[in-house]
Amino acid sequence: MEKVITIKDIARLAGVGVGTVSRALNGGKNVDPETFSKILAIVKELNYKPNNIARKLAKGNYSQKTIGVVVPVIINPFYYEILKGVYDKVIKENYNLLLFNLGNHHKEETLKHIIEENLIGIIFIAENIPVYEKKLLNSGNVKYVYIDYHEENENSFFLDNKKGGTLVAQYFITNNIKRIAYIGEHFVSQQQIDRFNGFKEELEKNNFFIEVIKYINNDEKESYILTLDLLKENPQIEGIFYFCDNMAYGGLKARSELKSNVTIIGFDDMMPSKFLGLSTIAQPAYTMGYEGANFIIDLINNTKNNFFQKCYDPQLIIR
């Protein structure tokens, strides 16, 4: 096995103390120029890469009580609600919180960077992680949990999204809303697949069908423009189900501008929805965040070791 080079090895070869090497690696302040050059030459020759923990210990700001939170997109009001729940519990228990925006680009590289931070626990929101990264976490005894994502045989806190889609379909059926459209987001997610399948399957069981299906970015302005065009081109549409409230807000604006009577239903029940009069599917975002954070802290403290999953029930809110 290849020997792991440490800061002590660099110090021994350079004939200086560990403190001198540490100062050299952190910019060279108060280090003799000749000694500084010698240390850098040894570092380069041995291909030495300082460990993140070592760096943070040297700076005196590393804590073994840091929990990471990974979100796909930070600018999402639903994730804010989950994060509030996570934050309140984590801070209450005197842990630190480190937030990572995973995004859709260079996912594996970002995950590797997160793992290298040597966090004591990681919460993944609305995301799964590749098998290799799971192995790294498990080998390092890093506790992790999923929130707003159902992962088989993993600790998960999630909504029954399929049931949520079914509830919307049942409302359309009960109110004889037959000319139906669905507006989803481009990004393929477990949440959208389940919502759409629950919606579509329940409709078709009752001989109701979706006439128009559109996919756009999760953006209120794009939704507004799309809904305007959709209703102008398809004036027969009686009901639209949107993937989430954020997209439905654009639909409300378009409906108002066109003075349309189309029924609009969103998903999430965000704070503005109540004031905008948006009918929607409610899910307990804050509770999922709080209870997920509570569970990972129990894992860290070894008060819970058993596999655990919690599925929350959606609720149809008509306004």
pLDDT, position 51: 58
Does the pLDDT value for residue 74 go beyond 80?
Answer: no
Q: Is residue 232 part of a domain?
A: yes
Q: Are residues 169 and 253 in the same domain?
A: yes
pLDDT, position 29: 62
How large is the average pLDDT for residues 237-260?
Answer: 97
Does the pLDDT value for residue 5 go beyond 80?
Answer: no
Does the pLDDT value for residue 202 go beyond 80?
Answer: yes
pLDDT, position 62: 44
pLDDT, position 75: 74
Give the domain extent around 30.
Answer: 7-59
pLDDT, position 255: 97
Q: Are residues 79 and 94 in the same domain?
A: yes
How large is the average pLDDT for residues 245-264?
Answer: 97
Q: Which residue, among 248, 281, 247, 244, has the nearest Cα to 262 in the 3D structure? A: 248
Q: Are residues 112 and 182 in the same domain?
A: no
pLDDT, position 129: 80
How far is it, in rounded angstroms, from Cα 82 to Cα 74? 11
* Tens-digit pLDDT profile for residues 94-114: 898 888 887 655 666 666 767
Positive/negative CA dihedral, 128, 132, 137, 139: positive
Average pLDDT, the chain: 87
Q: Is residue 211 part of a domain?
A: yes
The structural domain count of the chain equals: 3
Q: Is residue 317 part of a domain?
A: no
Q: Is residue 121 part of a domain?
A: yes
pLDDT, position 106: 61
Q: Is residue 319 part of a domain?
A: no
Q: Are residues 171 and 271 in the same domain?
A: yes
**What CATH number corresponds to the domain at position 295?**
3.40.50.2300
pLDDT, position 53: 46
How far is it, in rounded angstroms, from Cα 201 to Cα 221? 29
How large is the average pLDDT for residues 315-319?
Answer: 97
Q: Are residues 24 and 96 in the same domain?
A: no
Of 44, 59, 74, the residue at which a domain comes to its end is: 59
Q: Is residue 53 part of a domain?
A: yes
DSSP string across the chain: -PPPP-HHHHHHHHTS-HHHHHHHHTT-TT--HHHHHHHHHHHHHHT----HHHHHHHHT---S-EEEEEES-SS-HHHHHHHHHHHHHHHHTT-EEEEEE--SSSHHHHHHHHHHT--SEEEEES----HHHHHHHHHTT-EEEEES---TTS-EEEE-HHHHHHHHHHHHHHTT--SEEEEEESS--HHHHHHHHHHHHHHHHTT--EEEEEEE-S-HHHHHHHHHHHHHH-TT--EEEESSHHHHHHHHHHHHHHT---EEE-SB--HHHHHHT-BEEE--HHHHHHHHHHHHHHHHTTS--S--EEEEPPEEE--
Compute φ and ψ for 245, nearest 5 degrees: -60, -40
Report the 10 Å Cβ neighbour count for 42. 19
Predicted confidence band at 59 (pLDDT cuts at 50, 70, 90)?
very low
Q: Are residues 89 and 178 in the same domain?
A: no
Q: Is residue 1 part of a domain?
A: no
Does the pLDDT value for residue 63 go beyond 50?
Answer: no
What angle (nearest 5°) sits at the alpha carbon of residue 77, between those of residues 73 and 80? Answer: 75
DSSP bridge pairs for 184 = 215
pLDDT, position 103: 66
**What CATH number corresponds to the domain at position 40?**
1.10.260.40
Q: Are residues 33 and 82 in the same domain?
A: no
How far is it, in rounded angstroms, from Cα 317 to Cα 21? 62
How large is the average pLDDT for residues 251-257?
Answer: 97
Q: Are residues 83 and 222 in the same domain?
A: no
How large is the average pLDDT for residues 45-71?
Answer: 64
Length reported for the chain: 319
What amino acid is encoded at 93 in this protein? E
Residue whose structure tokens are 């999923």: 146
How far is it, in rounded angstroms, from Cα 158 to Cα 147? 6
Q: Are residues 268 and 190 in the same domain?
A: yes
Q: Are residues 25 and 38 in the same domain?
A: yes
Which residues, 6 or more positions from 116, have their beta carbon under 8 angstroms from its beta carbon? 52
Q: Are residues 250 and 220 in the same domain?
A: yes
Does the pLDDT value for residue 42 go beyond 90?
Answer: no
How far is it, in rounded angstroms, from Cα 207 to Cα 209? 7
Distance of CA 215 to the CA centre of its chain: 21
Q: Is residue 214 part of a domain?
A: yes
Q: Are residues 255 and 212 in the same domain?
A: yes
Predicted confidence band at 223 (pLDDT cuts at 50, 70, 90)?
very high
How large is the average pLDDT for residues 38-52?
Answer: 73
